[in-house]
């Protein structure tokens, strides 16, 4: 039996709330102390009396409870919990959590706690697939909220689809393991090798001058950090940037597109996923002047030639890695990105609209991702959060490609929950 964990079970107002007395019992059987916090709508589906009887603690639902410590019940509960579990999590509560709205005790304590947050969504399958709900799911996942399910099957509304709350026993098993959250979702890229190109390249004109661009490397470095956090071994082929190397990552510094090409191909064997986030110069000077060019003429021109396309060359490799490109566009984002996906024969492309203070050298980014069978949009968010969401998506598509039908997201979740 697991050691005693203090779990706040938040219950939101969905029909699956009728399963929560059972969930409380399963959690307690596994040694957890359970404090139930209900929303007003949850009280429409299950009574506080029942939950108090099975949890052995008075149920809390009032943000303005005068009996709670110094009338700040949310702070007291936030400090008490080792883990906050919301089951069922409705579309409404996901939206509140994503936006930071805190009109009641449950959402307020979620803002005030350092404890990990796990949610088990449950709703009609059409609601679950609604883009607004999926956008909230992404925001929450990117912030580290662990999401269990939902499962696919018959629903209380009489329809069938993905939206059933994961069964109480499976939820209890997932959240009461020795390391709690680590057991909920195993890092998806464990044992995989990921190579990421980063930053700008510099194409020399003479010993002191070069052609370059405004890439800061922030997006690529965030991707590297997120891939490492997902369990991957990461090789970062980096152009000149002013960023520190994330822990545990092998960084190879290069300057020009040709150097980046060579460094990539020297290490590409055994790489599972190749992510080209670098802003590689498309042209370089045909010949680099040995000495500093003197300003003798009123006009001058430099003959430029194409640089090697690193991404396309990796995508061409026989038995090569899963390839992900980034497309930086100032117009016709979708059309140009899809054409790059096809022309370069990529598995995925991440399209960002760039311009002055957009995409390049900013802390936030907004992208649309395309692959042959689908697409997904991510709202404007910090590059650090976006990277976590992108690595998750890339990992899912990669796993699907490498073992179709056996490592899809649902299968993976079911395996994790039932282990
Ligand atoms: O570095 P930041 O300031 O954080 O900004 C992030 C970013 C905007 C640079 C990043 O999100 C991004 O979009 N990177 C790719 C920029 C780019 O070069 O896009 P492109 O559309 O020109 O190239 C398409 C793809 O081909 C890219 O994956 C690129 O890395 C790759 N490429 C391009 C040319 C070349 N010679 N070799 C390549 O591998």
* Domains contained in the chain, CATH given: 6-183 (3.40.50.1950), 193-418 (3.40.50.10300)
Between 64 and 55, the higher pLDDT residue: 55
The finding on whether 217 has its CB within 6 A of some atom of ligand 1 is yes
Query: Would strands 203-206 and 250-253 be described as parallel, antiparallel, or unpaired?
Result: unpaired
Six-digit token string for 340:
């790059």
Burial of 112 (0-12, 13-18, 19+ CB in 10 A): middle
What percent of the chain is modeled with pLDDT above 70?
90
Query: What pLDDT is recorded for position 320?
Result: 95
- Contact assessment for residue 118 and residue 175, using Cβ atoms and an 8 Å cutoff: yes
Query: What pLDDT is recorded for position 151?
Result: 85
Q: Measured from the CA of 340, which atom of ligand 1 is nearest?
A: 24
Whole-number Å distance, alpha carbon 285 to ligand 1 midpoint, is 19
Count how many residues are written for the chain: 419
Spatial separation of the C-alpha atoms in residues 199 and 201, rounded to whole Å: 7
Query: What pLDDT is recorded for position 413?
Result: 37
pLDDT above 50 (res 406): no
Query: What pLDDT is recorded for position 178?
Result: 53
pLDDT above 70 (res 403): no
**Quick one: CA dihedral 334, 340, 342, 347, positive or negative?**
negative
Spatial separation of the C-alpha atoms in residues 120 and 83, rounded to whole Å: 13
The finding on whether 26 has its CB within 6 A of some atom of ligand 1 is no
Query: What pLDDT is recorded for position 126?
Result: 92
To test the pocket of ligand 1, the residue of 274, 326, 370 to mutate (highest count of ligand atoms within 8 Å of its CB) is 326
Query: What pLDDT is recorded for position 53?
Result: 97
The finding on whether 325 has its CB within 6 A of some atom of ligand 1 is yes
Whole-number Å distance, alpha carbon 326 to ligand 1 midpoint, is 5
Q: Measured from the CA of 307, which atom of ligand 1 is nearest?
A: 36
Full strand arrangement of the beta sheet holding 193-198: 250-253, 233-238, 193-198, 273-276, 322-329, 348-353, 364-371, 374-382
Query: What pLDDT is recorded for position 181?
Result: 45
- Contact assessment for residue 227 and residue 312, using Cβ atoms and an 8 Å cutoff: no
Nearest to 94 by CA among 128, 52, 55, 53: 128
Mean pLDDT for all residues in the chain: 88
Spatial separation of the C-alpha atoms in residues 51 and 56, rounded to whole Å: 8
The finding on whether 219 has its CB within 6 A of some atom of ligand 1 is yes
Could you tell me which residues come within 8 angstroms of residue 163 by beta carbon, excluding any fewer than 6 positions away? 121, 122, 123, 124, 125, 127, 128, 150, 152, 155
The finding on whether 282 has its CB within 6 A of some atom of ligand 1 is yes
Q: For atom 14 of ligand 1, which residue has the closest CA? A: 277
Please write the tens of the pLDDT for every residue from 350-400: 999 888 778 898 999 999 999 998 999 999 999 999 999 999 999 999 988
Please write the tens of the pLDDT for every residue from 210-237: 999 999 999 999 999 999 888 888 999 9
Please write the tens of the pLDDT for every residue from 295-320: 998 999 999 999 999 999 999 999 99
pLDDT above 90 (res 32): yes
Spatial separation of the C-alpha atoms in residues 352 and 358, rounded to whole Å: 9
Q: How far is CA 16 from CA 45, 120, 122, 138, 159, in A?
A: 8, 10, 7, 22, 15
Query: What pLDDT is recorded for position 177?
Result: 64
Secondary structure, 3-state, 258-319: HHHHHHHHHHCCCCCEEEECCECCCEEECCCCCCCCCCCCCCCCCCEEECCCHHHHHHCCCC
Angle at the Cα of 29 (from 27 to 35), degrees rounded to 5? 40
Catalytic residues: 157
- State the pLDDT confidence band at 410, using cuts at 50, 70 and 90: very low
Could you tell me which residues come within 8 angstroms of residue 267 by beta carbon, excluding any fewer than 6 positions away? 195, 235, 237, 252
DSSP code at position 372: T
Between 170 and 408, the higher pLDDT residue: 170
pLDDT above 50 (res 279): yes
pLDDT above 60 (res 411): no
Average pLDDT over residues 40-64: 93
For the full predicted model, state whether its pTM sits above 0.85: no
Whole-number Å distance, alpha carbon 144 to ligand 1 midpoint, is 27
Q: Measured from the CA of 217, which atom of ligand 1 is nearest?
A: 1
Query: What pLDDT is recorded for position 72?
Result: 58
Query: What pLDDT is recorded for position 409?
Result: 40
pLDDT above 70 (res 185): no
Locate tokens 């152009």: which residue? 239
Q: Measured from the CA of 308, which atom of ligand 1 is nearest?
A: 36
Query: What pLDDT is recorded for position 45?
Result: 95
The finding on whether 314 has its CB within 6 A of some atom of ligand 1 is no
Whole-number Å distance, alpha carbon 171 to ligand 1 midpoint, is 41
Chain CA centroid to CA 402, Å: 20
The finding on whether 174 has its CB within 6 A of some atom of ligand 1 is no
Average pLDDT over residues 156-170: 86
DSSP code at position 167: P
Locate tokens 């599972």: which residue? 272
């Amino acid at each position: 039996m697991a050691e005693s964990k203090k779990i706040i079970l938040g219950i939101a107002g969905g029909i699956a709330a009728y399963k929560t007395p059972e969930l409380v019992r399963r959690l307690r059987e596994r040694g957890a102390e359970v404090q139930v916090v209900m929303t007003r709508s949850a009280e429409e589906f299950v009574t506080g009396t029942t939950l108090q009887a099975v949890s052995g603690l008075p149920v809390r639902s009032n943000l303005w409870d005068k009996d709670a410590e110094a009338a700040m019940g949310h702070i007291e509960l936030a400090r008490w919990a080792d883990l906050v579990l919301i089951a069922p999590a409705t579309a409404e509560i996901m939206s509140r959590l994503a936006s930071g709205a805190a009109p009641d005790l449950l959402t307020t304590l979620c803002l005030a706690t350092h404890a990990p947050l796990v949610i088990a969504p449950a709703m009609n399958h059409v609601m679950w697939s609604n883009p607004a709900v999926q956008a909230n799911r992404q925001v929450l996942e990117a912030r580290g909220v662990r999401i269990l399910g939902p499962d696919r099957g018959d629903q209380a509304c009489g329809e069938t689809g993905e939206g059933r709350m994961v069964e109480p026993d499976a939820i209890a098993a997932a959240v009461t393991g020795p390391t709690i959250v680590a057991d909920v979702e195993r890092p998806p890229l464990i044992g995989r090798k990921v190579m990421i190109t980063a930053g700008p390249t510099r194409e020399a004109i003479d010993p002191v001058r070069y052609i370059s661009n405004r890439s800061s490397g922030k997006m690529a470095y965030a991707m590297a950090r997120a891939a490492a956090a997902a369990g991957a071994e990461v090789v970062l082929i980096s152009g000149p940037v002013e960023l520190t190397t994330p822990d545990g990552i092998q960084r190879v510094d290069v300057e020009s597109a040709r150097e980046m090409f060579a460094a990539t191909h020297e290490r590409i064997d055994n790489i599972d996923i190749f992510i080209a986030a670098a802003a590689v110069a498309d042209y370089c000077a045909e010949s680099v002047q040995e000495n500093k060019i003197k300003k003798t003429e009123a006009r001058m021109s430099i003959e430029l030639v194409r640089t090697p396309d690193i991404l396309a060359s990796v995508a061409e490799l026989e038995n090569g890695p899963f390839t992900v490109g980034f497309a930086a566009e100032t117009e016709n984002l979708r059309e140009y990105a899809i054409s790059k996906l096809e022309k370069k024969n990529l598995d995925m492309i991440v399209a960002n609209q760039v311009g002055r203070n957009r995409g390049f050298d900013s802390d936030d980014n907004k992208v649309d991702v395309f692959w042959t069978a689908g697409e997904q949009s991510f709202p404007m968010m910090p590059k650090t959060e976006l990277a976590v969401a992108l690595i998750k998506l890339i990992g899912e598509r990669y796993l699907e490609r490498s073992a179709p039908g056996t490592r899809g997201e649902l299968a993976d979740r079911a395996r994790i929950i039932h282990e």
